[in-house]
Amino acid sequence: MTMKDIRLILDEARRKARKLGPRPSGVPREGYLNRAERIVRMAASWVDEGGAVVDPWRGDEATYETGRFVGALGGLVGAGRCLDLVGLLERTIRRLLDFFRREAMGEDVGTALEFHSKELAWAIWNAGKSLSEELVSDVRSVCSSWDAYRLYRNSLAYRRPSELHNVNTFALAGEAMFRALGLRKDDGFVERHVPVHLGRFDELG
């Protein structure tokens, strides 16, 4: 399966989605942005000097908090919100980049980089124009340094097809966005894994 095949499947899914719905929620876009901004601004106080989001109840950096913060804040910055927090976004992005850099060098950082891939790519996709040239250069360098087949533990390099579930799809989303941004080369990772998941959906998704 090639990216062209995947695009055709996505085009068909979009066509069906337009025909079937979705039903409007009745809440305007600004309402969602307002709610998201309140949450992100509250979490901003949890970021430590090293860019880790420290869970105030647990007292440490739980598995996904930093990634979630990066994705949420990146999306808001891209929407013209939280522009006063760009410095904080850069700090937390550097935290995620450090995870990827260390894992690419052979260290087990003990966190699911599949999830962080999706959130990091989403932040760069939306907020890239607001980030410093130095950070964007670092992002480009780190993104070009890893082998996706080795980096992601929830992949066919380590697991049987029956063992791949939603965590793997996070990596596919991240890798696809990185490639669209020109930050990752086409290594066939997405194309190899998408067919595993397609067999789990009926015609209604």
Q: Encode pLDDT of 92-132 as tens digits.
A: 999 999 999 999 999 998 888 999 999 999 999 999 999 99
pTM: 0.88
pLDDT digits (tens, 9 = 90+) for 106-115: 999 888 899 9
Q: Tell which wins on pLDDT, 12 or 48.
A: 48
Q: How confident is the model at residue 27 (pLDDT cuts 50, 70, 90)?
A: confident
Q: Determine the pLDDT at residue 54.
A: 95
Distance CA 112, CA 171 (A): 10
Q: With cut-offs at 50, 70 and 90, classify the pLDDT of residue 204.
A: low
Rounded mean pLDDT, 34-46: 97
Computed over every residue of the chain, the mean pLDDT equals 92
Residue spans of alpha helices (H) in the chain: 3-20, 29-44, 65-78, 86-104, 113-127, 133-143, 148-151, 166-180, 189-198
Token pair in block for residue 36: 């998201």
- 6 vs 82, residue with greater confidence: 82
Distances (CA, A) of 143 to 6, 197, 201: 23, 25, 31
Residue with tokens 């003990």: 110
State residue 18's pLDDT score: 80
CB count within 10 Å of CB 174 equals: 26
Q: Spell out the residues 6+ positions from residue 121 whose beta carbon is closer than 8 angstroms to its own.
A: 173, 174, 175, 177, 178, 181
Cβ(61)–Cβ(54) below 8 Å: yes
Condensed to tens digits (0 to 9), the pLDDT of residues 131-189 reads: 999 999 999 999 999 999 999 999 999 999 999 888 999 999 999 999 999 999 989 99
Amino acid present at 163: E
